[in-house]
A and B are shown apart, each in its own frame.
Chain A
Amino acid sequence: AQSVTQLDSQVPVFEEAPVELRCNYSSSVSVYLFWYVQYPNQGLQLLLKYLSGSTLVKGINGFEAEFNKSQTSFHLRKPSVHISDTAEYFCAVITYSSASKIIFGSGTRLSIRP
């Protein structure tokens, strides 16, 4: 069965510092991978996705993620964070199957300190 693990429930960083949010998945078949962001009192918004091709994926707001098949990881990175990046970030996976379902990780709360 597929699963998604976000290793850090909370990540505090200083403004303008780099950040990495970790995501590992488990699946016996090929997957699609996603990162979504949820700002306070809002729904989720797609940050970026990996479907195939280049393993380095660039998304909105300066975020990028790298798909590592051997380590089954899809970590999210940003070289310099801003106060406005304060939000909860969710990693998600969909498997290639006839009954596709999306599985979300438990989320990582990113808090930015001035």
Chain B
Amino acid sequence: KAGVTQTPRYLIKTRGQQVTLSCSPISGHRSVSWYQQTPGQGLQFLFEYFSETQRNKGNFPGRFSGRQFSNSRSEMNVSTLELGDSALYLCASSLEGTLNTGELFFGEGSRLTVL
């Protein structure tokens, strides 16, 4: 059974640009959640999607957005990139579409560098 796949694995952007990251969940999983990992702030929850609807959202500005497609694949977008957006972005999928049981399966992440 294939795991969670994130693309691209590495990317470099400049300030002011936008970026789109993709996440393919484990087959059958309907929930996808996104996290930002930085040395200074640690792991922070961005948002969760379940059946194409955003269920939960963390404390990030509106420049961070996401969506989920009917096949459960998800994308997150960051517009007007800032230096502080440099981070590892992790995606996780879960079976029942809720964070309540914590059964999260993580991808290897997309490492974004903003210059």
Task: State the CA gap A43–B108 with chains docked (Å).
Answer: 4
Judged by a CB distance under 8 angstroms, whether A92 is at the interface is yes
Q: Are B56 and A100 in contact (CB under 8 A)?
A: yes
Please report the total number of B residues contacting A with Cβ < 8 Å: 23
Chain A residues whose CB sits within 8 angstroms of the CB of B44 once the complex forms: 104
Chain A residues whose CB sits within 8 angstroms of the CB of B99 once the complex forms: 94, 100-102
Judged by a CB distance under 8 angstroms, whether B66 is at the interface is no
Task: State the CA gap A90–B43 with chains docked (Å).
Answer: 9
Task: State the CA gap A90–B108 with chains docked (Å).
Answer: 16
Chain A residues whose CB sits within 8 angstroms of the CB of B106 once the complex forms: 36, 43-45
Judged by a CB distance under 8 angstroms, whether B68 is at the interface is no
Q: A43-B90, A44-B90, A99-B56 are in contact. Are A104 and B43 (CB under 8 A)?
A: yes
Q: Main secondary structure on chain A at its contact with chain B?
A: strand
Q: Are B98 and A100 in contact (CB under 8 A)?
A: yes
Please report the total number of A residues contacting B with Cβ < 8 Å: 24
Of all chain A residues, which has the CB nearest B3? A43
Q: Are A102 and B102 in contact (CB under 8 A)?
A: yes
Judged by a CB distance under 8 angstroms, whether B104 is at the interface is yes
Q: Are A43 and B102 in contact (CB under 8 A)?
A: no
Given contacts A43-B107, A96-B100, A100-B99, 15 further A-B contacts (CB under 8 A): A34-B102, A36-B104, A43-B108, A44-B90, A44-B104, A46-B105, A49-B101, A49-B103, A92-B102, A94-B99, A94-B100, A101-B58, A104-B45, A107-B42, A107-B43
- Contact residues of A with B, CB < 8 Å? 32, 34, 36, 41-46, 49, 51, 90, 92, 94, 96, 99-107
- Contact residues of B with A, CB < 8 Å? 4, 33, 35, 42-45, 56, 58, 90, 92, 98-109
Closest 6 CB pairs of A and B: A43-B106, A104-B43, A44-B106, A106-B42, A100-B99, A34-B102
